[in-house]
Amino acid sequence: MATLHALNIPDELYKQLQELAKAENSSVNAQIIKILQNALRTKTQPTDDERRKNVLRLLEESRLRRESRRTDVEWPDSTELIREDRDR
């Protein structure tokens, strides 16, 4: 595991970190790691616009697949198939 030394942390910020660590029953180091992980996770999650684009892309792909299906095939009625299975 890499070691990161932060220099010149303002006293007030360090005091807040200590209070948070004490309230959550952990160390200051553990709190800093937790805060950094949450910050990075938030930054790497897609934005609302990106999520909307993904949904639109998926809908378009679905539409294209549906349109590319063969139409000259006679598909059996699923109700009849189920009845046949039950009658066996």
Q: Are 44 and 38 in contact (CB under 8 A)?
A: no
Is residue 9 pLDDT above 80, yes or no?
Answer: yes
Determine the pLDDT at residue 50: 81
DSSP state of 16: H
Please report, for the chain, the start and end positions of each structural domain, with discontinuous segments joined by +: 14-63
DSSP state of 11: H
Determine the pLDDT at residue 74: 81
Q: Which long-range contacts (CB under 8 A, 24 or more apart) does 41-46 make?
A: none
| Range from 43-47, 52-56, 77-81 carrying the lowest mean pLDDT | 43-47
Angle (CA) 35-33-51 rounded to 5° is 50
